[in-house]
Structure 1
Amino acid sequence: MCGIFGAVSLGETALKDVDFKSLLDILEHRGPDDSGFVFIDSGRFNPRGYTIWEAFSESRFSHLSPLLPLIDSPAGSKAIKEGHWDVFLGHRRLAVIDPTPTGHQPMSDPSRTYWIIYNGEIYNFSEIREELLKRGYQFRGRSDTEVVLFSYIEWGAECVKKFNGMFALAIWDGKRRELFLARDRYGIKPLYYAIWNELFLFSSEIKAILAWPGFPREVNLTALNEYFTFQNLFRYHTLFDKVFLLPPANIAFVSYEKGFRQYSYWDYHFVAQNGSRQEKDILCDLHDLLKQSVKRQLVSDVPLGSYLSGGMDSGSIVALASQEIPRLATFTAGFEVSRAEGIEKSFDERRDAELISYHFGTEHYEQVIHAGDISWALPKVVWHLEDLRLGMSYPNFYISRLASRFVKVCLSGGGGDELFGGYPWRYYRVFRSLSRDDFLRQYYDFWQRLIKDEDKRIFFHSQIWQDTFRTEPFEVFSQVFTYNPLLKYDSPEDHVANCLYFEAKTFLHGLFIVGDKLSMANSLEERFPFMDNDLVDFAMQVPVKFKLGNLEKMVKMDENELNKLKKYYFQFDDGKNILRKAMSSLLPPEITWRRKQGFSPPEASWYRDENAAYVKKLLLDSQVKYKDYINQSYLENILREHFSGKTNHRLLIWSLLCFETWLQVFFD
């Protein structure tokens, strides 16, 4: 797991007069173990033709390679200043597989024609390595990076279809004189880019791009409208104007001659192909595939542990991983809920996590998060998130901070809900859909998580509203479904499958972005066994009837009870039935059949109580920066409603806190 940053000249000017080391060191938290650089002259600027200058930065490996100068040495400064470089590749390394100098990046093939910088893990790299050995390739080390590089040399862009794992990578192809970029199927690892001033800049994080001399910092107003509608971004732009995110399952090519080209190589497709199979056979295959995935993702040359909530997703992973690793380290964050109200009293999952830990004999660590912990964490969380997404995420920062003190790699249960139907109260809202348009309108009404369209005119300043109105959020929402022309809208099963598709493309992707940023903030690698390629392909084919046990009852609901639908949305919380049954032989029954519980603090209560003063100080100050975009009078009314207990605005309050902090951190 690492951080990458690079630049390619697309014009007639070579790369120069830039402190490349300082740009890459912005990503040091993603890779504190090692750092390296390579400058390439493809021959466009220099009659000598293709030339390379490679350097180490300060690292624990640099003394092992005395022939490579440090970038800030006199020799390094001279080479950079006097060279005619049109490509720069930089890498910060978190050494997990083959933590030796042979895993150093940027890495080249023996001819130094191909160069790779890579962030991620390929869990089936050993199998691919064996295939490449048979084809005559010779390996210098044991890292999956070398496997990825030789895979590209052997199979070209098609190599990504062989990879089972998470990755964001860049390979300079000296023969074609072009840069190859790729991102994993599910978007677990981020890859940002900008095309500006005849430059192509790319990075694991936006902040390195923003630090390029002269790069403009401007708020993307259409993205802002999207964020305050969905608490997420469904298109692949960012809150920073001119900065984009390469979509999941996409590859791209960049060159001076052809510019930027982008292609998709895979997509989700939830379609039942196991309809004729017996449930017992599906259960057996599901158990075996999850066990296989967990075993694959345990590969590591450094200490590895697992997050552990009180739910069955992380519980299933711990159950299977503990069979391979005695005294597996597990980590839980709980919440102080003595002053919480209503359903929020159940948000502390430590008791259930302790039950699982005891059951499987793990070495368990816990942290209790209190109301006041948000004020210390929020500026750090926003700095690392950069591109705001989803709900209360500072607990993710705390739990990864705890885990990083004991391990370097942590397994997570992310993806189980999206693959196996863990949010039934969302899906049942569209059971009465009669057509594609009905489905989209009903589902869109639910996913307006923050500001409804009819309130936008009074939420945004008039000029901001006019600028953001260019693209309506409903169009953005609908476009997610047009990505896949195979979707159908003919039955309740189709509607649920479409919901699963949408949430995997948007909500799950947002969770991965947040997870990556806040774990790597603490130099911790997160892995997701539910997102194994074989397991995902299988889960998409499992019929909806095996995922939702109350499917038929909801379909047959009396039309006269439609005014009572809200009661049913929360009554039928039966999702992931097939997964629950598959793991019932391993997990305690009180965990297997436990109600779905998200990882969220009791913020509705905390905002009214202990954190009320902090909220008021940050959002009602006369010098707040958000006033340039949002009407403060609207926000004051929101806070009055929340503090009085009239309405629960916890999601909007969190987003406003983040937006104000974001403006202070990146624009002040």
Structure 2
Amino acid sequence: MCGIIGFNWKDKTVLQKAMAMLSHRGPDDEGFYLNDIISLGHKRLSIIDLTSAGRQPIIDDEERFYLIYNGEIYNYIELKEELKKYGHRFTTDTDSEVIIYAYKQWGVECLKRFNGMFAFCVYDNLEKKLFLARDRFGVKPLYYQFSNGKFIFSSEIKPILLIADRQAKPHEIAIFDYLLYNFYNYSENTFFEGIFSLLPGHYLVFNLKNKNLSIKRWYDIPLDRVWAGSFEDASDHFKGLFRDAIRLRLRSDVEIGTCLSGGLDSSSIVCNLNEFGPRFTERFKSFSVIFDDPSIDESPYINEVLHHCNFDGYFITPTVDDLIKDVVKLITRQEEPFGGTSIFAQWCVMKLAHKHNVKVLLDGQGGDELLGGYPFFFAYLFLEKLKKLEIVRFFSEIWGYKKNFREHDAFLMIILLMLPHSFKIKTMSRYFYSIIDRNFIKRYAKDSIYPSLMYSITDLNKALYNRMRFSLPQLLREEDKNSMSFSIEARLPFLDYRIVEFLFSLPSDFKLHNGITKHILKESMKEILPEKIYRRTLKLGFPTPLEEWIRDKRFGSVMEDTIFSSVSQKRGYYNMERLKEVFTRHRQRKLDATQILWKVFNLEMWFKIFFDNTIK
């Protein structure tokens, strides 16, 4: 895990300043390469082959290809042996060297052979081209700007802002989608106009001679595969894939730990570690958030897993004082607004792991999007059963849902799916207490593609596909920025592409069944999970008491000064009278407007940091 930066002209001073901004991503080593037409920089977090042999750029034996790279190729050992048969010779034990020879051997097709997370650039010194690629699901970030013949790319946005020769502007449609739909990072657009994200499963080629830029997709989740076997066979197959995905992600020359929320996903990862022997279990550490409030505290489930597996657990309880202290740094490191303080809870977990000198963490990200982990996914299952006239199963699933969930999310989702486009917009506006300015909504409602992507009637598999493509990227961005802020590499077994493709071949009933989410995961892990985890239906996932923090006098004052500043009133995003009313009523406990108040506060803090320059 590292930070990369590059641009299509020579400037060592600017390069070093940009590299310094990525130091948290790679504090262990650095390297750079410059010639008359290119500047490449790399900040290294040493995970595999800790020697200086892993310093980048990595150069092939003919000095044609130069690689800078962020990520991990988990199957690098197997690929290395295959490449040796073609006559390639290796001088390091890094996965980086495997990438450069895989590209040399197979070209673009090498991407399909990689099992991992990656964002990298290969400079071809012969053809004078840059080849940039991003992993299948976008675990690792890669941003770029191309303006007035200048091409800049980086692992983060801030170095691009430093180098760019024009003042950045906020992207209005991104802000619209964030405020109205809580939806962001779903397209190539960032919150900064003119700065783009290379989409997951895409590669970019930039010709340094004629300055031509082209982008192509190299991967998409296949939806045409159909599992023909039984549920029992599928469960056994999933178990094998999942265990192997964990095995590959244990390849490391530094200590590995795990995030543990007490939910099904992270508990499944931890409980599988016992299968790999005392080398891992004797020194394995888990890191968790806990609270005094029993409605959001998951420590009973966390302790159940720790006792079951005999692992050491480390805990942190974020407070409102911690939020006040860290909020500027958190928003600065995230670079773009985010939807709630579960991201702050995750930030605190990463800080805790860093304190205990753990550089690699396993995490359960992606499980909910793959397996239908949110109650509203039942809406798609209900409609699917109706469409197929499976009436008995339809009523059986509704009965199971009502037995396991008190919320009405699935039924409300059905209503939302059936509403005309204009009514969906009105519904979302009212959901956020109508604090978004009507003229702002009118201006951008037609430009947003969110309702057609995420709130259209479809089957469960397609709904999950949409979540993987358009919703998961924001979670991956948030986790990458949080983990790398503390020089930690987060590894995600659920996003092993073999697991993803297998799960999308399965029928809906294997994922949601009798009111139970993640059916196949639960049944495949039944023998190794504690009974309390196996039977659990309640889902929390890094909750925080933000509702009460806003009512705290100190943080409430910070929020009030921020969202009602003279500058925020001029932006044209908010109905200020309504916003003041909602803020007051929330403080008086007359309503819960936690999410929209946080989003406005986060957005205004983001403006102060990146545009107004009133916070350093």
TM bracket (short chain): 0.7 to 0.9
| Residue of 262, 277, 282 corresponding to 1:310 | 262
Q: CA distance change for structure 1 residues 442 and 578 in 2, over 3 Å: closer, same or farther?
A: farther
Residue 265 of structure 1: aligned partner: 218
Tell me whether 1:478 sits opposite 2:455 in the alignment.
no
Tell me whether 1:396 sits opposite 2:351 in the alignment.
no
Q: How far apart are 1:430 and its partner, in Å?
A: 7.5
Q: Hey, what's the Cα distance between the residues in 1 that align with 2:198 and 2:553?
A: 40
SS at match of 1:335: coil
| Residue of 493, 501, 510 corresponding to 1:529 | 493
- Identical-residue share of aligned pairs (%): 32
Q: Hey, what's the Cα distance between the residues in 1 that align with 2:460 and 2:271?
A: 29
| Residue of 326, 350, 365 corresponding to 2:281 | 326
Superposition pairs of residues 362-381 of structure 1, within 5 angstroms: 362-381=311-330
The farther-off stretch of 540-549 and 144-153 is: 540-549
Q: How far apart are 1:373 and its partner, in Å?
A: 2.2
Q: Hey, what's the Cα distance between the residues in 2 that align with 1:195 and 1:438?
A: 43
Question: Quick check: 2:180–2:432 contact (8 Å CA) kept in 1?
Answer: no
Tell me whether 1:664 sits opposite 2:605 in the alignment.
no
Residue 505 of structure 1: aligned partner: 469
| Residue of 195, 198, 201 corresponding to 1:243 | 195
Residue 6 of structure 2: aligned partner: 6
Residue 97 of structure 1: aligned partner: 48
Superposition pairs of residues 160-171 of structure 1, within 5 angstroms: 160-171=111-122
Superposition pairs of residues 62-211 of structure 1, within 5 angstroms: 85-211=36-162
Q: Hey, what's the Cα distance between the residues in 1 that align with 2:89 and 2:176?
A: 52
Q: CA distance change for structure 1 residues 16 and 22 in 2, over 3 Å: closer, same or farther?
A: closer
SS at match of 2:170: coil
SS at match of 1:195: strand
Q: How far apart are 1:528 and its partner, in Å?
A: 0.2
Residue 75 of structure 1: aligned partner: none
Q: How far apart are 1:461 and its partner, in Å?
A: 8.1
Q: CA distance change for structure 1 residues 269 and 427 in 2, over 3 Å: closer, same or farther?
A: farther
Q: Hey, what's the Cα distance between the residues in 2 that align with 1:109 and 1:447?
A: 54
Tell me whether 1:405 sits opposite 2:379 in the alignment.
no
Q: Hey, what's the Cα distance between the residues in 2 that align with 1:236 and 1:225?
A: 16
SS at match of 2:547: helix
Map Cα deviations across residues 28-76 of structure 1 (whole Å, 9 max, x no partner): 0000001111013xxxxxxxxxxxxxxxxxxxxxxxxxxxxxxxxxxxx
SS at match of 1:346: coil
Q: CA distance change for structure 1 residues 39 and 514 in 2, over 3 Å: closer, same or farther?
A: same
Q: How far apart are 1:439 and its partner, in Å?
A: 8.6
Q: How far apart are 1:216 and its partner, in Å?
A: 1.5
Q: CA distance change for structure 1 residues 203 and 467 in 2, over 3 Å: closer, same or farther?
A: farther
Q: How far apart are 1:213 and its partner, in Å?
A: 5.3
Residue 452 of structure 1: aligned partner: 429
Q: How far apart are 1:416 and its partner, in Å?
A: 1.2
Residue 286 of structure 1: aligned partner: 238
Tell me whether 1:32 sits opposite 2:32 in the alignment.
no
Residue 571 of structure 2: aligned partner: 628
Q: Hey, what's the Cα distance between the residues in 1 that align with 2:42 and 2:126?
A: 22
| Residue of 366, 373, 377 corresponding to 1:422 | 373
Q: CA distance change for structure 1 residues 620 and 306 in 2, over 3 Å: closer, same or farther?
A: closer
Q: Hey, what's the Cα distance between the residues in 1 that align with 2:193 and 2:251?
A: 39
Map Cα deviations across residues 246-293 of structure 1 (whole Å, 9 max, x no partner): 00000110113261101111112456612x422211111111111111
Q: How far apart are 1:7 and its partner, in Å?
A: 0.4
Q: How far apart are 1:438 and its partner, in Å?
A: 9.4
Normalized against structure 2, the TM-score is what?
Answer: 0.87
Q: CA distance change for structure 1 residues 179 and 466 in 2, over 3 Å: closer, same or farther?
A: same
Q: Hey, what's the Cα distance between the residues in 2 that align with 1:258 and 1:315?
A: 49
Residue 546 of structure 1: aligned partner: 510
Tell me whether 1:575 sits opposite 2:517 in the alignment.
yes
Tell me whether 1:230 sits opposite 2:173 in the alignment.
no
Q: Hey, what's the Cα distance between the residues in 2 that align with 1:356 and 1:199?
A: 52
Aligned AA for 1:6? G
Count of residue pairs brought into register by the alignment = 575
Map Cα deviations across residues 72-109 of structure 1 (whole Å, 9 max, x no partner): xxxxxxxxxxxxx1111100000001111111101111
Question: Quick check: 1:309–1:349 contact (8 Å CA) kept in 2?
Answer: yes
Map Cα deviations across residues 315-345 of structure 1 (whole Å, 9 max, x no partner): 11011124321231111111232xxxxxxx4
Unaligned segments of structure 1, at least 5 residues? 9-13, 41-84, 338-344, 483-488, 551-571
Q: Hey, what's the Cα distance between the residues in 2 that align with 1:612 and 1:579?
A: 40
Residue 408 of structure 2: aligned partner: none
SS at match of 2:56: coil
Question: Quick check: 2:339–2:598 contact (8 Å CA) kept in 1?
Answer: no
Q: CA distance change for structure 1 residues 150 and 211 in 2, over 3 Å: closer, same or farther?
A: same
Residue 598 of structure 2: aligned partner: 654
Q: Hey, what's the Cα distance between the residues in 1 that align with 2:535 and 2:265?
A: 11
Q: Hey, what's the Cα distance between the residues in 1 that align with 2:549 and 2:3?
A: 36
Q: How far apart are 1:183 and its partner, in Å?
A: 0.4
Residue 394 of structure 2: aligned partner: none
Q: CA distance change for structure 1 residues 455 and 279 in 2, over 3 Å: closer, same or farther?
A: closer
Aligned AA for 2:344? Y
Superposition pairs of residues 348-387 of structure 1, within 5 angstroms: 348-387=297-336
Q: How far apart are 1:638 and its partner, in Å?
A: 2.4
SS at match of 1:28: coil
Q: How far apart are 1:364 and its partner, in Å?
A: 1.2
Question: Quick check: 1:397–1:518 contact (8 Å CA) kept in 2?
Answer: yes
Aligned AA for 2:452? S
Aligned AA for 1:581? E
The farther-off stretch of 603-612 and 586-595 is: 603-612
The farther-off stretch of 125-134 and 443-452 is: 443-452
Tell me whether 1:252 sits opposite 2:204 in the alignment.
yes
Q: Hey, what's the Cα distance between the residues in 1 that align with 2:144 and 2:427?
A: 28
Tell me whether 1:590 sits opposite 2:565 in the alignment.
no
Map Cα deviations across residues 206-265 of structure 1 (whole Å, 9 max, x no partner): 000001153312111121112112223222201111100000000110113261101111
Q: Hey, what's the Cα distance between the residues in 1 that align with 2:599 and 2:494?
A: 29
Question: Quick check: 1:615–1:657 contact (8 Å CA) kept in 2?
Answer: no
